Structure 1
Amino acid sequence: MAISMPSVRLPELPSWLFESQTAKNQVTFDRGFIVIALAMYLIGLIMVASSSMPIGEKLFNNPFHFVIRHAIYIVMSLFIAAIALRVEMHHWQKSSWVLLLLAMFLLVAVLIIGRTVNGSTRWIMVGPINIQAAEPAKLFFFCYLSAYLVRRRDEVMDNFKGFFKPLLVLFLLAVLLLLEPDLGTVIVMGATALGLLFLAGAKLWQFIAIVVVVLSAFVMLVIFEPYRLRRVTSFLDPWQDEFGSGYQLTQSLMAYSRGEFFGQGLGNSVQKLDYLPEAHTDFVMAVVGEEFGFIGIVFLLGLCLTLVIKALLLGKRALEKEKYFEGFFAYAIGIWMSFQAAVNVGASAGIFPTKGLTMPLISYGGSSMIVMTLAIVVLIRIDHELRLQSIQATATGGRK
């Protein structure tokens, strides 16, 4: 007797994704986003494989432990992307407040049932998967902020009340994040929010007032928590305590110095051999520098910069076509990606204090990978809808 197995139906990709051009030779979406994302997926998989094998062998007696999981995360990201590509942007705008509530729920839940690693409670265990609540919180907050700026743009530009309201929401999220604690995510969200408010037309004096308050709060946070003070000051002279608070940075700097211009070659990093902690996550760029040198770092930063510029130009184009939510959302994603990449590389190179932020689409981490993929999907969808609007306007004009 034959037993029928239940079949799993994969999500269907939207048809416009396979249409190279319309009848009038008008491209339906920007393939550059997909090319850049796939290139970063591949580079990230290679570098996670190279940097994680020693720690995988040590912890799990399997050098491919993290490589396999990273590959699964990429497949999951593509699966979710196939679904998200079908979601029109007006659904994102309409559901922005629901997404904000979901972000708050996750941040509260992680404090109650979260898993603690190295003194930080940032992960919710769902079977074999760890969900880092801070990652979706970033995307969902930027979605909410973009929708808020559409509704209250005049209020933001005319008085301090409209400028201050979204910062109250950010403050609430920041409190929940600091309880984990996760200061790095707070800084990224704050910098992106201020950048987006500035682009929306807020007055300069409002920024000066907020920056003074934020810097004062940051100084107080650092002073009242000794570990934060050590983390902030150790990057200024890591060699002063090279086996203590400056250990990670000194090992990272040695990795960069060994790489020189062309690097030691793929797989030839010495620092990843149980010297450099978190070599496959926060400090993966140090391994890239050691194995591929200055050339490898410039190439990766070039890919990231291209993605950021395309996002910012897309935001500008959306605003010009009076698609304000789409424009602000694209701007937010561009600012977010650029700032997070800058902090990740800067921390590993001793320019900024270590903040525990991943390199977008490169570092190991399922939550970061999925959320960054969703951000790129949003950019592709915005670009498609703008092109579709132009195609429809051209067709209507032609019929007239």
Structure 2
Amino acid sequence: MTTITDRPDDKAARPATDRRWVSALKDVLDRPLTSYHILLGATGLLLVLGLLMVASASSVMSLNTYGNPYTITYRQLIWVAVGLPMAYVASRMTPRHFRMLAYVALLGSVFLLVLTYVPGLGKNVNGNTNWISFGGPLQIQPSEFAKLALVMWCADLYARKQKLLTQWKHLLVPMVPVCGLVIALIIGQHDLGTSLVLMAVMVGMIWVVGAPTRLFVGMLAVVGTIGGFFVSQESYRMARVAQFMDPFADPSGVGWQAYHAFYALSTGGWWGVGIGNSRQKWGNLPEAHTDFIFAVIGEELGLIGSLTVLALFLTLAYAGVRIATRTTEPFIRYAAAGITVWIMAQTLVNLGAVIGLLPIVGIPLPLLSYGGSALLPTLIAIGMLLSFAKAEPGAQAALKESRRPLFWWVSSWRTPGHPGRENTRER
């Protein structure tokens, strides 16, 4: 019996081929607009997938409620149609514009949060009085816009204090008191999920500006203590913690959502049951098109689809971190890091609840879940990141190059002094 062995020259060629692949990848990543294109591509894919899954997950509920299986999808399309121009406008703005709007956005968010406590305006949804109703279907959730406002304000504040951030006083004041006020207003609405995301943003911003390790660890301990305290104050939250410890102890009661989310994920297999073929959306899984849309994704698209979603969010995070680390402007660094922490913290809390790694707190999955109040500020934040990506070294020159007219060579040929023109004159 004979065996075929690799020739020495083949073995020597493999490392060279690997080096060429690594070199090619490095060349792509070193291009000026790489962050811009990565961010644009990942966001676009998540938006398209979100519309597709909202259409599938909401069809049964929409039919039962409105008599049309696509009413909820149409509404989400409207929100996307409103949000994309807002993201485009944000992408055309400069850091100076965002800094000018930071304080206005913060004051506006606090004002809207206070309005939720006004009888007749504040609306209770699923036990949380965190909505403002303007009559009919028009209602907004101010806490979603508060995330964006806090990131903008904190980034501007720390950029102004750049030379003073070695002092604890300037690290914590007035950032912590203002963030504490916003978080307190949201906790008062019984919205612990959004409060946890904002706490993560606050701690993340303190870490990004270079806080000492002991201060950072202390902030984590304080956030954990505050979160544990407020969980212990509500019986339904304690019930959710108990359900988290033993998901199958009460599958027909407090564990209903978690049980059916697990069932949806487990029946998806590798490739899923197919888009539109979910069984859990037929009333078994509450909030299938909002907080638990990832369970429907796992059921219909399987493990491969679920991992694809995770990869897209990680790509989004990579783009955000890349923008934050490649800039020399403090405001861009802090704002890009804050937006990245916000989106990824919300993603982790949502996915952790769906797959059983965290207690259920009820927050949407960015760019995928149904809801305009969550989608609009997220798209504006993506627009901000796109604006920051265009400020990277060499990005402006690359953009000008990519925007040349289709027949640029004709205009250059007509330019006085161009060789082609001179040759024509000679003839």
TM tier, shorter chain? 0.7 to 0.9
Aligned letter for 2:52?
Answer: I
Q: Partners of 1:55 and 1:272 in 2: how far apart?
A: 8
1:156 is the counterpart of 2:178: no
Shift of 1:160: 4.3
1:10 equivalent in structure 2: none
Shift of 1:229: 1.2
Q: Partners of 1:171 and 1:238 in 2: how far apart?
A: 33
1:19 equivalent in structure 2: none
1:378 equivalent in structure 2: 384
1:329 equivalent in structure 2: 335
Work out whether residues 290 and 364 of structure 2, in 8 Å CA contact, stay in contact via their aligned partners in 1. Answer: yes
Aligned letter for 1:210?
Answer: M
2:127 equivalent in structure 1: 119
| Percent identity (aligned) | 33
2:293 equivalent in structure 1: 284
Question: If the length of structure 1 is used for normalisation, what is the TM-score?
Answer: 0.87
Q: Partners of 2:33 and 2:212 in 1: how far apart?
A: 38
For structure 2, the 5+ residue unaligned runs are: 1-30, 399-427
Aligned letter for 1:83?
Answer: V
Deviating more after overlay: 137-146 vs 228-237: 228-237
2:403 equivalent in structure 1: none
Aligned letter for 2:319?
Answer: K
Q: Partners of 2:178 and 2:32 in 1: how far apart?
A: 41
Work out whether residues 141 and 373 of structure 2, in 8 Å CA contact, stay in contact via their aligned partners in 1. Answer: yes
1:34 equivalent in structure 2: 40
Q: Partners of 2:283 and 2:172 in 1: how far apart?
A: 48
Structure 2 CA distance for partners of 1:158 and 1:389, relative to 1, 3 Å? farther
Shift of 1:146: 0.7
Q: Per-residue displacement from partner, 1:187-243 (whole Å, max 9, x unpaired)?
A: 111112211211211111212322232222222212221111112221121211111
Work out whether residues 32 and 394 of structure 2, in 8 Å CA contact, stay in contact via their aligned partners in 1. Answer: no
Q: Partners of 1:283 and 1:110 in 2: how far apart?
A: 25
Alignment of 1:199-238 (within 5 A): 199-238=208-247
Q: Partners of 1:64 and 1:223 in 2: how far apart?
A: 40
Aligned letter for 1:90?
Answer: R
Alignment of 1:15-34 (within 5 A): 30-34=36-40
Aligned letter for 1:324?
Answer: P
Q: Partners of 2:177 and 2:99 in 1: how far apart?
A: 20
| Structure 1 vs Structure 2 CA RMSD | 2.1
Work out whether residues 266 and 291 of structure 1, in 8 Å CA contact, stay in contact via their aligned partners in 2. Answer: yes
1:139 is the counterpart of 2:139: no
Work out whether residues 174 and 186 of structure 1, in 8 Å CA contact, stay in contact via their aligned partners in 2. Answer: yes
Alignment of 1:220-299 (within 5 A): 220-299=229-308
1:181 is the counterpart of 2:166: no
For structure 1, the 5+ residue unaligned runs are: 1-24, 393-400
1:11 equivalent in structure 2: none
Q: Partners of 2:194 and 2:77 in 1: how far apart?
A: 25
- Partner SS state of residue 131, structure 2: strand
Work out whether residues 156 and 163 of structure 1, in 8 Å CA contact, stay in contact via their aligned partners in 2. Answer: no
> Max radius of gyration: which structure?
2
Work out whether residues 29 and 387 of structure 1, in 8 Å CA contact, stay in contact via their aligned partners in 2. Answer: no
Q: Per-residue displacement from partner, 1:42-71 (whole Å, max 9, x unpaired)?
A: 100110011001111112222111111111
Q: Partners of 2:217 and 2:32 in 1: how far apart?
A: 45
Q: Per-residue displacement from partner, 1:229-268 (whole Å, max 9, x unpaired)?
A: 1122211212111111111100100000101211111111
1:46 is the counterpart of 2:52: yes
Work out whether residues 89 and 326 of structure 1, in 8 Å CA contact, stay in contact via their aligned partners in 2. Answer: yes
2:23 equivalent in structure 1: none
Q: Partners of 2:386 and 2:170 in 1: how far apart?
A: 34
Q: 1:313 aligns with which of 300, 318, 322?
A: 322
Aligned letter for 2:97?
Answer: H
Work out whether residues 323 and 392 of structure 2, in 8 Å CA contact, stay in contact via their aligned partners in 1. Answer: no
2:111 equivalent in structure 1: 105
Shift of 1:303: 0.8
Q: 1:90 aligns with which of 79, 92, 96?
A: 96
- Partner SS state of residue 166, structure 2: helix
Structure 2 CA distance for partners of 1:193 and 1:26, relative to 1, 3 Å? closer
Structure 2 CA distance for partners of 1:107 and 1:315, relative to 1, 3 Å? same
- Partner SS state of residue 368, structure 2: coil
Structure 2 CA distance for partners of 1:197 and 1:163, relative to 1, 3 Å? same
Structure 2 CA distance for partners of 1:27 and 1:293, relative to 1, 3 Å? closer
Work out whether residues 28 and 384 of structure 1, in 8 Å CA contact, stay in contact via their aligned partners in 2. Answer: no
1:358 is the counterpart of 2:364: yes
Q: Partners of 2:395 and 2:56 in 1: how far apart?
A: 45
Q: Per-residue displacement from partner, 1:302-341 (whole Å, max 9, x unpaired)?
A: 11110111111100011xxx21001110111111111111
